[in-house]
Amino acid sequence: MKLYDCDLHIHGSYSGGVSKNMLIPEISMQAKLKGLDIIASGDILNKEWLRHLKENLCEENGCFRDKKIDVFYILGGEINDVSNVHHLFFLPNFESAEILRKKLSSYGRLDGYGFGRPSISLNAEKLACIIEEANGIIGPAHAFTPYYSMYSHFSSLQSCYGAQVKNVFFMELGLSADSYFADLISGNHGLAFITCSDAHSPWPHRLGREFTRIELKKPCFEDLKKVFMEERERIKLNVGLDPREGKYHCTACNRCYSKYSIESAKGLNWRCPRCKGTIKKGVRDRIMELADFKEEVHPEFRAPYLHIIPLAEIILMATKAKDINSEAVQSTWHELVSKFGSEIKVLLDVELSEIQKIDEKVARHIGAFRQGNVLYISGGGGKYGEPIICASQEELELKKLELRDVLECNSTFKGQKTLAEF
Ligand SMILES: [Zn+2]
Ligand SMILES: [Zn+2]
Ligand SMILES: [Zn+2]
């Protein structure tokens, strides 16, 4: 068996709001640089994208691989049901995809130019039945976000999937939650957790910004399904942003992003007094409403969760460059990644003295990140949170005082382990 770093939720360029660069050759190349081994195909129900996948992937013993680069793909996609809940699904092969397309096409629109997620007039239970008939597996996508998620519309897995709950084995946590939050709800303890990017562009601060490390016999659907159903201990690590970086972490106004406690939001009838915008309930508060536990608790098989910051963001902070796509950030990113093999290695494994030879400031920032000297301005209302890397524990304490008003929806910060400690 081998460890694979997997990003199981992306979108292709034929979907609405997605970069035209999200094509298999580019995705594979960027995945390689990032250090990812398996990517979910995304958008398999889109006819044009399905054709693009068939053109660019080859099949070897049930595994799909880019014809030119050594990156594997799991076929699948995302779909919106009648209650506006998004689900991820995975399929064994192209035949299943054709069957599913045919079955679902009578229930709604599956594709079209610039079209968003395929949307059908079936509830989750009926959808799960059809996915099963096509030999696929289904689970909630970004399960806690205030829009288009299971927990924004239902209070349990059972109430969403009905009798089909017996066939739901995994859940995508989404950017605003992590295993700590998700396991506060006891109904989630039977599920495998996956952390994915939901990337709409292939650049390294998007693709693989969250990923799951899984031990597999073969990089294929059948073995992944086995992991989700029976051998969840083969999920070795969930890697993702600190939930405070997620754009729906705190309860906040969706226009001016002012943050509110859940009590004051209720008192204000979810209307922002500053700008008259709508206050959106944050993932953190939604989880607290549903939580069965007050303290951290996990099933035995649950993998540790490692919080990371994309390398490009760290370089941006260290160099104080204008933006993440600037030449200064991109050239340093490429230099580091080509020298050390992948972004994940640079972030977690390479000796700081080695990174120092390329850029001293970046090395210092990576060191501080590894030590956990990071503060977060929490996201909310649709605005991403922001990490602040501090040079030392002292600086961190000072900044904490200085920023205490904006860190408000902030749980007490805990330093984190390095990869070597897991
Ligand atoms: Zn979605
Ligand atoms: Zn998506
Ligand atoms: Zn407002």
Distance between CA atoms of residues 231 and 87, nearest Å:
22
Relative to the alpha carbon of 141, which ligand is closest? 1
Express each pLDDT in 243-260 by its tens digit: 999 899 999 999 999 999
Relative to the alpha carbon of 199, which ligand is closest? 2
Length of the chain: 422
Distance 272 CA to ligand 1 centre (A): 26
pLDDT band at 411 (very low <50, low <70, confident <90, very high): very low
Distance 83 CA to ligand 3 centre (A): 27
pLDDT band at 413 (very low <50, low <70, confident <90, very high): very low
Distance 11 CA to ligand 2 centre (A): 6
Q: Is the pLDDT of residue 414 over 50?
A: no
pLDDT band at 408 (very low <50, low <70, confident <90, very high): low
Relative to the alpha carbon of 272, which ligand is closest? 3
pLDDT of residue 114: 64
**Other Cβ atoms within 10 Å of 404 Cβ, number:** 10
Express each pLDDT in 157-207 by its tens digit: 999 999 999 999 999 999 889 999 999 999 999 999 999 999 999 988 899
Closest CA to 41 of 54, 30, 236: 54
Distance 160 CA to ligand 1 centre (A): 16
In 42-141, the DSSP E strands lie at 57-60, 63-66, 72-80, 86-91, 108-109, 119-120, 137-140
Ion ligand 1 — residues with CB < 5 Å: 86, 141
pLDDT of residue 116: 74
> Are residue 233 and residue 325 in the same domain, yes or no?
no
Residue 144 lies in a domain: yes
pLDDT of residue 415: 37
Q: Given the DSSP bridges, would you call strands 235-240 and 211-216 parallel, antiparallel or unpaired?
A: antiparallel
Element spanning 216, H or E? strand 211-216
Residue 273 lies in a domain: no
Distance 274 CA to ligand 3 centre (A): 5
Assign residue 80 the CATH number of its domain: 3.20.20.140
pLDDT of residue 344: 85
- Using CA atoms, how far residue 199 sits from 10, 25, 105, 361, in Å, is 5, 15, 25, 28
Residue 187 lies in a domain: yes
Q: Are 124 and 162 in contact (CB under 8 A)?
A: yes
pLDDT band at 412 (very low <50, low <70, confident <90, very high): very low
Q: Is the pLDDT of residue 418 over 50?
A: no
Distance 12 CA to ligand 1 centre (A): 13
The mean pLDDT of 124-134, rounded to a whole number, is 97
> Are residue 150 and residue 14 in the same domain, yes or no?
yes
pLDDT of residue 111: 82
The mean pLDDT of 104-110, rounded to a whole number, is 92
> Are residue 150 and residue 69 in the same domain, yes or no?
yes
Q: Are 170 and 238 in contact (CB under 8 A)?
A: no
Q: Is the pLDDT of residue 136 over 90?
A: yes
Distance 165 CA to ligand 2 centre (A): 22
Residues with Cβ within 8 Å of 408's Cβ and at least 6 positions away in sequence, in order, are: 250, 259, 378
The mean pLDDT of 312-319, rounded to a whole number, is 94
Residue 252 lies in a domain: no
Q: Is the pLDDT of residue 266 over 50?
A: yes
- Using CA atoms, how far residue 69 sits from 15, 22, 226, 338, 357, in Å, is 23, 16, 26, 16, 30
> Are residue 71 and residue 187 in the same domain, yes or no?
yes
Give percent of the chain above pLDDT 90.
84
Q: Which 3 state secondary structure label does DSSP give 146? A: coil
Express each pLDDT in 387-402 by its tens digit: 999 988 899 999 989 8
Relative to the alpha carbon of 9, which ligand is closest? 2
Express each pLDDT in 38-85 by its tens digit: 999 999 999 999 999 999 999 999 999 999 999 999 999 999 999 999
Relative to the alpha carbon of 140, which ligand is closest? 1
Distance 212 CA to ligand 1 centre (A): 18
In whole numbers, what is the pLDDT of the chain averaged over residues? 92
Express each pLDDT in 13-29 by its tens digit: 998 889 999 999 999 99
Distance 271 CA to ligand 3 centre (A): 8
Domain that holds residue 367: 311-414
Distance 253 CA to ligand 3 centre (A): 5
> Are residue 109 and residue 228 in the same domain, yes or no?
yes
How many distinct structural domains can be found in the chain? 2
Residue 105 lies in a domain: yes
Distance 249 CA to ligand 3 centre (A): 16
Residue where a domain stops, chosen among 190, 218, 244: 244
pLDDT of residue 205: 85
Q: Are 181 and 241 in contact (CB under 8 A)?
A: no
Residue 368 lies in a domain: yes
> Are residue 190 and residue 324 in the same domain, yes or no?
no
Distance 254 CA to ligand 3 centre (A): 7
> Are residue 50 and residue 134 in the same domain, yes or no?
yes
Residue 235 lies in a domain: yes
Residue 251 lies in a domain: no
pLDDT of residue 330: 92
Relative to the alpha carbon of 380, which ligand is closest? 3
